[in-house]
Amino acid sequence: MKLGAFSASLSVKDLQVSKEFYEKLGFSVFGGDQSMNYLIMKNGNTIIGLFQGMFEGNILTFNPGWDENASPIDPFDDVREIQASLKKEGIELIREADPVTSGPASITLQDPDGNNILIDQHR
């Protein structure tokens, strides 16, 4: 199963303060929109998302069909294929993608310790 690019999506209290902190760790803004309360930052192949007021807790995020530069990769495992594989393995999903659609979709689940996982396909 190919999950695509990995990032940690962090729920932050103050986007500007967090941006400045991660810049001191060598990250630079890669995407997002500060006026929309989120930034995507990158240090080498490491990606983090900073999100203010959008969700509680932190999320492990995977993007099928993208590499770490948000460039399309082919072939890739569609999120609906990943969903079917996870369900076949008995993994409970919190939110499912409509299996008869195509293109962008997402699913959410939790690991055994309650960590949230988002598999978010943008293409």
In this predicted structure, what is the pLDDT of residue 85? 97
In this predicted structure, what is the pLDDT of residue 3? 96
Q: What is the CATH number of the domain that holds 116?
A: 3.10.180.10
Q: pLDDT digit string (tens) for 39-96?
A: 999 999 999 999 999 999 999 999 999 999 999 999 999 999 999 999 999 999 999 9
Q: pLDDT tier at 97 (50, 70, 90 boundaries)?
A: very high
| Closest to 119 measured CA to CA, from 69, 110, 50, 31 | 110
Q: What residue numbers bound the domain in which 111 lies? A: 5-121
In this predicted structure, what is the pLDDT of residue 32? 96
Q: pLDDT tier at 20 (50, 70, 90 boundaries)?
A: very high
Q: pLDDT tier at 9 (50, 70, 90 boundaries)?
A: very high
CB atoms within 10 A of CB 56: 8
In this predicted structure, what is the pLDDT of residue 111? 95
Q: Model pTM?
A: 0.89
Domains held by the chain: number: 1
| Closest to 108 measured CA to CA, from 96, 100, 98 | 96
* 3-state DSSP assignment of residue 72: strand
- In SS3 terms, 78-122 reads as CHHHHHHHHHHCCCCCCECCCCCCCCCEEEEEECCCCCEEEEEEC
